[in-house]
Structure formats: structure tokens, C-alpha cells
Amino acid sequence: MRAISGGRAFHLQHLRPSPPCRALTPTIGAALLSHTAPMSRPHRRRLPQGFLPSLEPGVSAVHLCRRVLSAASSVSLDDMLQGELDSAKGELQKHEAVGAFQKIPMVMPATDILMSAQRKSRNVPPTKGIANIAKRERNKGAKQLDALMKELSVPLRTYTENFPKRKHLHPYERSLIELTFGEGYYEQVIGRVDALRKRITSVGKQHASVCAKSTTKREAEERLAEGRKKLEEAFQQGKHAIDDLVNVAKALRSMPVVDLHIPTLCLVGSPNVGKSSLVRVLSSGKPEVCSYPFTTRGVLMGHIVSNHERFQVTDTPGLLTRHDDDRNNIERLTLAVLSYLPIAVLYVHDLSEDCGTSVADQYTTYKHIKERFGDRLWLDVISKCDLLGKTAPTNFYCDNSDNELAQYKSFGPEGAIQVSVPGEIGIVELKERVHELLTSQMARIKAEQGGHETQETGTDGS
Ligand SMILES: Nc1nc2c(ncn2[C@@H]2O[C@H](COP(=O)(O)OP(=O)(O)OP(=O)(O)O)[C@@H](O)[C@H]2O)c(=O)[nH]1
Ligand SMILES: [Mg+2]
């Protein structure tokens, strides 16, 4: 297996590492998560408890609207049903596709929109053939104000219409939006841009109409100048919404691209256990590796190319030992990956406790995650086995072989393989096992795709 270059990461940039093993409180976690906008904004508040469970996976309901057919309609019942099925399929596809963030429009900074609008509108001439000076001037004034209004508002309409509606996003991307910006922020920014567009339209229409009623050349000139001033003021007042949208677009576009049809390995475990070190060994991903917890604060994608096969690898933030409702947004990113992407799990255990989390705590977290996501294909790895002494973990001291935790402390989960990155121990075996796991994952994906296709054929044929 060979790793190709160019892993892509999305990090919650402004987070600071915590001291080893100190649990982040949810409030701190959420506050730390302010990605693009200042913390002082009211929408930066902490997410409500139990937020993530409300984003449970599942196909969104598709509502088929009833069609009202007039008596004269020539559309047959079959055509109608087919149309409804097609639109339902379209809706489903909309819901199931990922990659919406790569298609969002480029947003021009507010200053550029204003400068371009001013320049273009000033070049608008009066309608040809108006001999009367006053009439010509008021015609020009009204046309220029109308042009300025349109040049300012049309880009805003394009943005608000082309940013994806959250309800149409894949649940994974939906949760990324929520966890990155905070609850409701995405819609709020788009709403503010739309409100600015409406305001510009209203001010522009009003002043163009006033200018069109001017009786003298001078009056028309004054009304044009006044209209320009009011439009520019209105734009300046609301321009922060556009700049916020620029930041939202930037953050969304930089999120890692995931292909649901390619098998994906997801590294999971407590903080600082060695997940990122293994991602670097296994794939093209080059996540930061440091000796403190929460070095990884976002989801990172790497790739593995083996012969003609291509696989994805995601690094994730570490999980602390606590209830899911108490997790900070960084940890919730990991749960979002586990919940919504068709991944195979590589769970990393550090039995040396070098990571700063006790083996008992790691076990509690492991059991919880295994219980919740045990239906995924799964491989357990004991990391840092160079720190466990020269002998393999099977020779470790075991005080009570009947005790689950004692077993875990000594051997890790059943079937776990032991590796060391600096010692280069177990890496070849790990790569082989990962390849087997991802090949099985490919078979799962194909079986599921086959299932969907059969369902669709069945539906079409009925
Ligand atoms: N001795 C030893 N140290 C290791 C090994 N693997 C990783 N480390 C060290 O463990 C520390 C944490 O490694 P990372 O790969 O950043 O761990 P992580 O799980 O990604 O950490 P977070 O992103 O903070 O959750 C670093 O100092 C690594 O150098 C190993 O096999 N042996
Ligand atoms: Mg890491």
C-alpha cells in the first residue's frame, strides 16, 4: 500500500490545546469553537444539551405534494405519478449527496460589490432621443439609481439562492455546519444578507421614483446624488452580513471532501493515544502530532492508494470519558463522522497511559462507543507498545483474569494488534489488516448500492 500526497484538513482553528487530561467543560468547548466570527456575538452561545442526538441519521421524509389538475389537463395519471416519483427521487438524491460545500458560490467582499456597482451605474446613459434637458436628466437619474440598486442587490440574491438549504444537506454536512458555526448562525447570516437585499431594493426603488418626478435639471441632479448617498449608506450599514457570508463560504469550502462510495477508515480513541501518528503512517494525511491532548481539533482526510484501489482515512478529535450530552463540539465532530459516514473504525488504545487518560477511563469510553457504533466494521489497535516493555502485552501483569477491566488492562480488546510508530512494530500487520477491513467495507458499500438499485428498479417497475 502506498499513501498519495495531499491530505485535506478542516480544523477548528482558534482552539487552544488543553493541559493533559483536563476535561474541557462543554461551555469552554463550545466557546473555544468560535471558528470565524467574534466570540462576543450572541449566536456564539453554547449548543443546547443533547443537541447531537437530535441529528440522528436517517433518510429525511419526502413529501409528495398533491397536484391540482384542471379538468382540461391532458396529463395522464401515469405521467403524474411518474413525475412525483421523479421529484421524490430528486429530493432523496439532494438529501443523500455530499459535496455541497464545494459548490457554494464565491462571495465577493462587500467593498468590491459596492465599488463595482458604483462604477457600472455611473456609466448608464439616459434614454436616447429625449430633447428636453430636465426630462433627460431625470431619466438618467432614475436609470442610474435603478442600476445601482440592481448591481448591489442581484449578487446578494444569487448568494442567498445558491447557498444550500440546510434541510437539503447530507446529515453529516448539516452537523458540520451546526458544530462549526453554532446553532442557527448559518441561516442567520444568509437571512441578514437577504434582509440587506430587500432594504437596498426598497431604498433604490423609492429614490428612483422620486428622481423620476423631478421638474428641473438641478432637482434631478440633487435627487440622484441623494439617492446614491442613501443607497450607499444602506449598503454600508448591512455590509457586515456579506463579510460574514464570505467567512462562512471560506470555512465551508475548506472542509474535507469525503466520497461516500469510497471505503473510509476512521481513527477513534481517547485524546493523545496516537491516532494522528497512525494516520500519518497509513495514509497521505499529515495531521499534526503533539504530546498533548486535543492536538486534532477537526476532521482530517487522508488517502491510501493500493494497486488500483483507493481508500480514505479520517483522523478525528479524541473522546473524553463522559456522557455524549456533555461533549464539546470538537468531540461531537467525531460522533458526527461515526454517525453519518459509512466508515470502518480503527479504535486506538494506549495501555501505557502515556496519553494521560487512565486505562480504566479509556475502557469506559471504548465500551460506550462500541455499544453505540458496534455495527461498523471494526479493528482495535494497542498503540505505543514500545512503552509497554520489550515483551508483548500478553506477558503483562494481570491481577484477575476473570475481570473484564483487568483483561483489558493486560491485553486490550480481544483481537487487538499491537503497534509502535517510532519502534516500527506491527506496522506491516496493521497495514494488511486495514486493507482487509477496507476491502470488506467496499463489499458492504457495493451491497448497499446493489440494494438501493434493486429497490429503485422495483419501484420503477411497479
Ligand atoms: N512512544 C510512542 N509514542 C507515540 C507513539 N505514537 C504516538 N506517540 C506519541 O504520542 C503523542 C500523541 O500522538 P498523536 O498521534 O498526536 O495522538 P492523537 O491521538 O492524535 O492525539 P489528539 O489529536 O490530541 O487526540 C505524541 O507525542 C506522539 O509522538 C508510539 O507508538 N510510541
Ligand atoms: Mg490527533
CB distance 275 to ligand 1 below 6 Å: yes
Both 114 and 222 in a single domain?
yes
Give all strands (DSSP E) within 264-398, no chain letters: 264-269, 299-306, 309-315, 343-349, 378-382
Range of the domain at 263: 2-34+258-455
Q: Is 184 helix (H, G, I), strand (E, B) or coil?
A: coil
Helix axes 133-162, 185-212, angle to 10 degrees: 170
Residue 296 alpha carbon, nearest atom of ligand 1: 23
Among candidate residues 314, 323, 321, the one with its CA nearest the CA of residue 275:
314
Whether residue 55 lies inside any domain: the answer is: no
Rounded Cα distance between 287 and 295, Å, is 9
Helix axes 359-373, 329-340, angle to 10 degrees: 40
User: 204 alpha carbon to ligand 2 midpoint, in Å?
Assistant: 53
CB distance 147 to ligand 1 below 6 Å: no
pLDDT of residue 15: 32
User: 275 alpha carbon to ligand 1 midpoint, in Å?
Assistant: 7
CB atoms within 10 A of CB 25: 13
pLDDT of residue 9: 45
Helix intervals (H) in 263-396: 275-282, 329-340, 359-373
Residue 279 alpha carbon, nearest atom of ligand 1: 15
CB distance 274 to ligand 1 below 6 Å: yes
pLDDT of residue 13: 37
Q: Which of 238, 253, 268 is the last residue of a domain?
A: 253
Over 80: is that where the pLDDT of 28 sits? Answer: no
Enumerate residues 6+ apart whose C-beta is below 8 A from 461: none
Both 12 and 133 in a single domain?
no
Whether residue 86 lies inside any domain: the answer is: no
Helix intervals (H) in 109-184: 110-122, 133-162, 171-181
Please provide residue 416's backbone torsions phi and psi, each rounded to the nearest 5 degrees: -65, 145
Rounded Cα distance between 413 and 449, Å, is 32
CB distance 300 to ligand 1 below 6 Å: no
pLDDT in tens, 262-290: 999 999 999 999 999 999 999 999 999 99
Both 305 and 416 in a single domain?
yes
Ligand in nearest proximity to the CA of 318 = 1
Q: What confidence category does residue 454 fall into, taking pLDDT thresholds of 50, 70 and 90?
A: low
Both 344 and 399 in a single domain?
yes
Whether residue 296 lies inside any domain: the answer is: yes
Among candidate residues 333, 259, 312, 314, the one with its CA nearest the CA of residue 96:
259
Both 270 and 244 in a single domain?
no
Q: What confidence category does residue 403 fall into, taking pLDDT thresholds of 50, 70 and 90?
A: confident
Both 359 and 392 in a single domain?
yes
Residue 339 sits in a domain of what CATH number? 3.40.50.300
Look at 142-146, 255-259, 389-393 and tell me which has the smallest mean pLDDT.
Answer: 389-393
Dihedral angle sign, alpha carbons of residues 294, 295, 299, 304: negative
User: 324 alpha carbon to ligand 1 midpoint, in Å?
Assistant: 24
Residue 112 sits in a domain of what CATH number? 1.20.120.1190
- Residue of the CA atom closest to atom 1 of ligand 1: 384
Rounded Cα distance between 316 and 332, Å, is 10
CB–CB of 313/278 below 8 Å? no
User: 290 alpha carbon to ligand 2 midpoint, in Å?
Assistant: 8
Residue 297 alpha carbon, nearest atom of ligand 1: 23
CB–CB of 52/333 below 8 Å? no
Q: What confidence category does residue 457 fall into, taking pLDDT thresholds of 50, 70 and 90?
A: low
pLDDT in tens, 311-358: 999 999 999 999 999 999 999 999 999 999 999 999 999 999 999 999
Q: Per the structure, how many domains does the chain have?
A: 2
Q: Which of 225, 253, 281 is the last residue of a domain?
A: 253
Question: pTM for the full model?
Answer: 0.73
CB–CB of 308/32 below 8 Å? no
- Give ion ligand 2 contacts, CB < 5 A: 275-276, 295-296
Instruction: Give me the residue label for grid cell 461515526.
Output: 338
pLDDT of residue 415: 94
User: 210 alpha carbon to ligand 2 midpoint, in Å?
Assistant: 62
pLDDT of residue 19: 35
Over 50: is that where the pLDDT of 44 sits? Answer: no
